[in-house]
Amino acid sequence: MELNETPDYTVINKVFFIGSKKLGYSILKKLHSIDENSICKIITIDDTKDNRSSYHKFQNFATKNKISIDVLGNPSELSTIIDEEKPELIIVSGWYWIIPTEVLNKVPNGLIGLHASLLPQYRGFAPLVWAVINGEKKTGISLFYLSDGVDTGDIIDQRELTIGNNHTIATLLSKVEEMSLDMMDSNYKKILNKTNNRITQSKNNVSYCSIRRPEDGLIDWGGDNITIHNFIRSQSDPYPGAFTHIGDKKYYILESIIINETHYGPKGLISKADNDSIIVCCGKNALKIVNIRGEGSKENVINKMRFGTKFENIK
């Protein structure tokens, strides 16, 4: 990989932060703790209809620290703000709107973001979810410059993250947050001083992730038990969850365990049930389920599942 080192010792002191959600809020606090004078504007969205929202925390943080905050109603407003206020650098975390090339070109020191993969692998949407679905044993975090491609910009830093066989998406998101904050600790001052690394991404091992929607969580019981286990743990809380049906009732499966016992039966059949767990036949082998809830409920209804009931693959 090519290393681009062109130090410019003029310190950056006009930084905008663009972001939302828990990770974005944590990153904002970390940047402010490293250099409380660098962040001069926060840009976010009102996402209070999302149960993962940190919108009010952003508002309170801006008020407490006397930082200007803009709440965007549509993506086009960003370009106008940048034209009027001319930031020197923008840090992005937890942002779901595409930032167009014309905006990238208006910021002299660029836009820097975090991506939950070891770029150039898993560029695009939901990289952590896809890594778990695919049974990866490791992934990572990349701190990089946004460019006009999909996660193609120069790398500042990367950290590797191990994916255990029973790690859930919540466990991994927590690790991602911890590692991201540590990465900012190591790099933010260098970024402000323009002495950070810029490493061109490799052209090898490139892969892309497509967007995922709640309806993509339908479980196919015809798969093997390991594939289904990965599918379940990749999108459990705080995400919408993997789901299945009994008749016209929808159930979300939150936690599963791979077992070595052999169970013969039609795919999706509950072949064993007690108060704490059920065993479900898969296309190959079987899976123990220990946490399941009905649609619109937070209650674990595992003790209400019955031997001989069959989960169905219906839309």
Q: Does 173 lie in the same domain as 35?
A: yes
Q: Does 243 lie in the same domain as 142?
A: no
Closest CA to 313 of 221, 230, 213, 214: 221
Q: Does 149 lie in the same domain as 251?
A: no
pLDDT at position 313 is: 75
Q: How far apart are the first and last CA of the chain?
A: 46
Q: Does 241 lie in the same domain as 204?
A: no
Angle of helix 21-34 relative to helix 55-64, nearest 10 degrees, comes to 20
Q: Does 192 lie in the same domain as 125?
A: yes
The torsion angles phi and psi of 253, rounded to 5 degrees, stand at -105, 120
pLDDT in tens, the chain (315 residues): 344 445 555 789 899 999 999 999 999 999 999 999 999 999 999 999 888 899 999 999 999 999 999 999 998 899 999 999 999 999 999 998 889 899 999 999 999 999 999 999 999 999 999 999 999 999 999 999 999 999 999 999 999 999 999 999 999 999 999 999 999 999 999 999 999 999 999 999 999 999 999 999 999 999 999 999 999 999 999 998 999 999 999 999 999 999 998 999 999 999 999 999 999 999 999 999 999 999 999 999 999 999 999 999 765
**How far are the Cα atoms of 77, 173, 281, 290, 292 from residue 258, in angstroms, in the given order?**
49, 22, 12, 11, 16
Q: Does 192 lie in the same domain as 100?
A: yes
Q: Which domain holds residue 278?
A: 214-304
Answer with the one of 208, 235, 256 that is the final residue of a domain: 208
In a domain, 5, yes or no: no
Q: Does 172 lie in the same domain as 277?
A: no
Q: Does 290 lie in the same domain as 199?
A: no
Strands laid side by side in the 278-281 sheet? 242-246, 249-258, 286-294, 278-281, 270-273
What's the sign of the alpha-carbon dihedral 20, 198, 121, 110? positive
Q: Does 186 lie in the same domain as 91?
A: yes
Answer with the one of 179, 208, 237 that is the final residue of a domain: 208
Answer with the one of 164, 192, 208 that is the final residue of a domain: 208
Beta strands 123-124; 138-145: pairing state:
unpaired
Q: What is the CATH number of the domain that holds 268?
A: 3.10.25.10
Q: What is the CATH number of the domain that holds 184?
A: 3.40.50.170
Question: For the chain, how many structural domains are there in total?
Answer: 2
pTM of the model: 0.91
**How far are the Cα atoms of 29, 167, 230, 292 from residue 302, in angstroms, in the given order?**
40, 21, 20, 6
Q: Does 204 lie in the same domain as 223?
A: no
In a domain, 25, yes or no: yes
In a domain, 284, yes or no: yes
pLDDT at position 196 is: 96
Q: Does 178 lie in the same domain as 108?
A: yes
In a domain, 144, yes or no: yes
